[in-house]
Amino acid sequence: MTNTIVSSRESNKDCELDTIEVTPSFSQRNMENVLSKFYLSTKPTSNLYLQWIEDESFVIDKSNSFYLLVGKRIVDILISTVVIVFVLSWLLPIIGIIIFIDSPGSIFFIQPRTGYKGACFPCIKFRTMYNSKQTEFKQTSFNDNRVTRVGRFLRKTNLDELPQFINVLLGSMSIVGPRPHAVQHDVLHWTSMTYRNRYTIKPGITGLAQVRGARGETEKSQKMDHRVRYDLFYIKQRSFLFDMKIFFLTIKTMLEGDKNAW
């Protein structure tokens, strides 16, 4: 079955699209050529877009529970509103000034990421790297020299993710769910139906994989497989209590510092 990678002139609300067909037989070199051709852009919201094939048979939870149908969104709106009004309203200017003093430039890093059913959305984070133009997509690695001093602290405590509560309020993300990956990263795995199952629900600020330590660079395929297994387990087991457990474990990790956050 053919999967499609899209990047540029037609119309997603947040990403402009062009079409390139990518079959499961695509080699790593083919994929690298696609990425090198379409990654650089003068527009921050113009990037790769992964097409969702609606008629595929995905293994997803068919639960009709009130929480999954309505309650989860209500919880997302309530918590994100509280965080934005009572935390981000005063913390954002403080962190923004510190980021700018440490490394002049924008205080935010807005990156196109893959969301529900492959739809691209602008994911908001505090900028944790030096403000320089990237020539290629590269995951953050241990002791990455692109990360600023302040950025290391923000990553270690997960404070760099706080602006994503804006994404949650706008509806492109949930508080708990599989973490959204950069579109260039997803493209390397998109031919796998198992991998695409991650996006049968909205991505989250935090998730089961993250609180179990499956985060950071996925330079080995085993690491990504491990993360995907956590994500699919979460999708099948979603509930209010499960979400709250993950939420509070995330807060605990923020206070203690995450050794896998670089």
Which one has a higher pLDDT value, 98 or 182? 98
Tell whether 13 is covered by a domain. Answer: no
Asked if the model's pLDDT at residue 61 lies above 90, the reply is no
Tell whether 1 is covered by a domain. Answer: no
Phi, psi for residue 52 in degrees, rounded to 5: -95, 135
Tell whether 164 is covered by a domain. Answer: yes
Which one has a higher pLDDT value, 151 or 34? 151
Which tens digit of pLDDT belongs to each residue from 9-49? 343 444 443 433 444 444 444 544 544 444 433 343 434 45
> Distances from the Cα of 116 to the Cαs of 50, 51, 52, 99, 198, in angstroms?
11, 11, 9, 31, 9
Would you state the pLDDT for residue 191?
A: 81
Number of domains in the chain: 1
Tell whether 135 is covered by a domain. Answer: no
Tell whether 59 is covered by a domain. Answer: no
Tell whether 8 is covered by a domain. Answer: no
> Model pTM?
0.78
**Which residue range forms the structural domain that includes residue 242?**
28-54+67-129+142-256
Tell whether 17 is covered by a domain. Answer: no
Q: How many CB atoms lie within 10 A of CB 56?
A: 12
- Kindly state the average pLDDT of the residues 88-92: 96
Least confident of 30-34, 124-128, 188-192: 30-34
Phi, psi for residue 6 in degrees, rounded to 5: -120, 145
Tell whether 62 is covered by a domain. Answer: no
Query: Which DSSP string corresponds to 40-80?
Result: --SSTT---EEPP-TT----------HIIIIIHHHHHHHHH
